[in-house]
Amino acid sequence: MSDNMRNNVRDNMGHMNNQLTQEMRDLARELLASGEVKGLFGWTKGSRWYLTPPVFITKPEEADRLCYDEFAVNNLTGLLLDFRDSQDKIAVFVKGCDSRGIVRLVQDNQLKRENIVVIGVPCPGMGDKGAVTDHRQAQELPLLAKCLECRYPNPVLADRTIGAVTVTTEPSAAPSGATAEAAKGRGVGSKEADRFAQVEAIEKMSPDERYAFWQAQNKKCIRCYACRNICPACNCRECIFDSDKKNWVNKAATPTDNAFFGITRAMHVAGRCVECGECERVCPMDIPIMAMNRKLIGDLNELFGPYDAGVKADEKPPLGAFKLDDPEEFM
Amino acid sequence: MSAVDEKKVNAAGQPDPNWEPNIVGFACNWCTYAGADLAGLSRMQYPPNVKLIRVPCSGRANPQFVLRAFQKGADGVLVAGCHPGDCHYATGNYFTRRRFLLFQRLLEFSGIDPRRFQARWISGAEAPKFRDVVTQMAEEVKALGPNRKLREEL
Ligand code: SF4
Ligand code: SF4
């Protein structure tokens, strides 16, 4: 790409983001002013050009705080858990990957579908802020790995939409709406076929190498639980890692206790993980958490038939169901 | 090396031929536990390596039980329950089957030999099967040697 073209792409992106941000603010203002919703989760511009963190607003005049750009990466759906005991109606913006989190929470009986106004947004693919080299100056960033591997660029459900995005439960559908071209140009979904590459690489190792690989990862984990906290599938009211009395696991962050945490976390979301990739993105220690999740997803598909969690609310997650003639290696 | 480990190697650092594996078995109250009881009543001989923990249903055994057993010193873990179709609670073991099939693969992915974690269907009448399963597993795990992986290092 020539510098000129790159500048054009950037300008177009900037223009588009402004437009989407405007649409977002207008809709938020309308929903809050009419009283249709009590509050709304969206994104706002952060303290750096590459930060667009979540924001919760309750008044129409706060709508101008909303912002949308290629750093609005946070999946907001897990935040809705704050309202699981409330009857208030809350609105939330969702990109394609995020939207599956809504299905997850509804299916897990954590939220009532009628209490949420889901607003679908088109996604240009999110920039990898890890690649920032100059903190003062905006620059072209590569996409996050999870966006390159994206299979659901469009929301799977929505009550309202902005940016003319198409709502569809079809995987691998081409990105739609105002950002469709940008998403395609930036490579959203282009590495979809590679999403099991790391799993396969680990499977090729010897058992001792695999153990050493995970031990090295577990040594790094500081058990901050960020991976759990962001996850829409990690929605237990009391997490076993928070219950002191039952002594499930030592509080010390030793590699063994961290292994217990990592394996347990993965099993708890097995069949329910919506592949939003947020756990791995938020991990401050760069632990390849998605390799665990994907291992389980791959095996579930192979053992019990293809299944994408968080797409169709009336399809039971594979570990919550069975067939009389399920495969059996035990005997 | 702790006192426990020293028992597993002799002075030359070679594996101790007298070492016996420590196997934890989660046994369903209605089938496998009864089967084990029958094996005892029938005076069947089997290795004493398996320490059974009675659970109401094999579906009650969850992956944390297995991980915790390894952490606390198990060299092998067995989950055993009623044959599919015979669950006291009608369908519990169908969930067990899916869960542990998946979990065994995840353990393997984490570097744990799948022979160290096994699941079996053993009915209340299958005392000989209980004997055979336990004997076979004890032999297999003995051949694998002591398990250090996932062990708590306190
Ligand atoms: S986010 Fe990373 S460091 Fe924190 S608990 Fe999860 S795996 Fe460990
Ligand atoms: S486990 Fe990770 S990828 Fe899966 S739903 Fe939770 S945060 Fe998203």
What per-residue confidence (pLDDT) applies to A271?
95
> Is the CB of B112 less than 8 angstroms away from the CB of A326?
no
Mean pLDDT, all residues of chain B: 88
Nearest CA in chain A to B118: A330
What per-residue confidence (pLDDT) applies to A250?
82
Residue B76: DSSP 8-state:
E
Does some domain include residue B12?
no
Q: Which of B85, B113, B152 sits opposite A256 (nearest CB)?
A: B152
Is the per-residue pLDDT at B2 higher than 50?
A: no
Task: For B57-86, write each residue's pLDDT tens digit.
Answer: 888 999 999 999 999 999 999 998 888 888
Distance from CA of B33 to the nearest CA of A (A): 16
Residue appearing with tokens 């039980």: B65
Residues in chain B with CB shorter than 8 Å from the CB of A254 are 152-153
Does some domain include residue B125?
yes
Does some domain include residue B14?
no
Q: How confident is the model at residue A12 (pLDDT cuts 50, 70, 90)?
A: confident
Q: Which of A211, A267, A296 sits opposite B111 (nearest CB)?
A: A211
What per-residue confidence (pLDDT) applies to B18?
86
The end-to-end CA distance of chain B, in Å, is 11
Residues in chain A with CB shorter than 8 Å from the CB of B150 are 256, 259-260
Does some domain include residue B13?
no
Q: Which of A112, A84, A105, A80 is nearest to A93 (CA)?
A: A80
Distance from CA of A81 to the nearest CA of B (A): 25
What per-residue confidence (pLDDT) applies to B1?
41
Instruction: For strands B117-121 and B50-55, give the pairing.
Output: unpaired
The bound ligand whose nearest atom lies closest to the alpha carbon of A292 is 2
Distance from CA of A193 to the nearest CA of B (A): 21
Residue-range definition of the domain harbouring residue B99: 20-143
Does some domain include residue B8?
no
ipTM of this complex prediction, to 2 decimal places: 0.91
Mean pLDDT, residues A106-128: 96
Enter the tokens of residue A316: 């039971």
Does some domain include residue B73?
yes
B 1-60 residues with CB below 8 A of A? none
Domain tally, chain B: 1
Q: Which of A323, A326, A331 sits opposite B121 (nearest CB)?
A: A331
What per-residue confidence (pLDDT) applies to B58?
87
Instruction: Answer for the pair A321, A303: CB distance below 8 angstroms, yes or no.
Output: no
Q: Measured from the CB, is residue A287 less than 6 Å from ligand 1?
A: yes
> Is the CB of A324 less than 8 angstroms away from the CB of B103?
no
Residue owning the nearest CA to atom 7 of ligand 1: A221
Enter the tokens of residue A89: 């109606």
Residue appearing with tokens 């591997």: A149
Q: Which of A202, A212, A318 sits opposite B98 (nearest CB)?
A: A318
Tell me the percentage of chain A whose pLDDT exceeds 90.
82
Alpha helices (H) in A143-288, listed in sequence order: 145-148, 180-186, 197-204, 207-220, 226-230, 255-268, 278-282
Residue owning the nearest CA to atom 2 of ligand 1: A283
The bound ligand whose nearest atom lies closest to the alpha carbon of A277 is 2
Residues in chain A with CB shorter than 8 Å from the CB of B71 are 256-257, 260
Q: Measured from the CB, is residue A226 less than 6 Å from ligand 1?
A: yes
Residue appearing with tokens 């297999």: B140
Does some domain include residue B150?
no
- From residue A278, give the alpha-carbon distance in Å to each of A78, A231, A290, B69: 10, 7, 9, 31
> Is the CB of A254 less than 8 angstroms away from the CB of B103?
no
Give residue A231 CA to ligand 2 midpoint distance, Å.
5
Edge-to-edge strand ranges of the sheet holding A39-43: A54-57, A39-43, A90-94, A116-120, A160-161
Give residue A277 CA to ligand 2 midpoint distance, Å.
5
Mean pLDDT, all residues of chain A: 93
Give residue A236 CA to ligand 2 midpoint distance, Å.
14
More confidently predicted of B9 and A188:
A188
Does some domain include residue B31?
yes
Q: How confident is the model at residue B3 (pLDDT cuts 50, 70, 90)?
A: very low
Instruction: Answer for the pair A190, A145: CB distance below 8 angstroms, yes or no.
Output: no
Residue appearing with tokens 């920032």: A132
A2-6, A218-222, B69-73: which range is least confident on average?
A2-6
What per-residue confidence (pLDDT) applies to A63?
97
Half-sphere exposure of A184 (CA within 13 A, CB side): 9
Ligand 2 pocket list (CB less than 6 A): A 230-233, 269, 273-279, 293
Is the per-residue pLDDT at B6 higher than 60?
A: no
Task: For A43-82, write each residue's pLDDT tens digit.
Answer: 999 999 999 999 999 999 999 999 999 999 999 999 999 9
Q: How confident is the model at residue A7 (pLDDT cuts 50, 70, 90)?
A: low
CATH of the domain at B66: 3.40.50.960
> Is the CB of B101 less than 8 angstroms away from the CB of A260?
no
What per-residue confidence (pLDDT) applies to A2?
58
Mean pLDDT, residues A302-314: 93
Residue B148: DSSP 8-state:
-
What per-residue confidence (pLDDT) applies to B35?
87
Of the residues A267, A303, A323, the best mutation for testing chain B's interface (the one with the most B CB atoms within 10 Å of its CB) is: A267
What per-residue confidence (pLDDT) applies to B4?
46
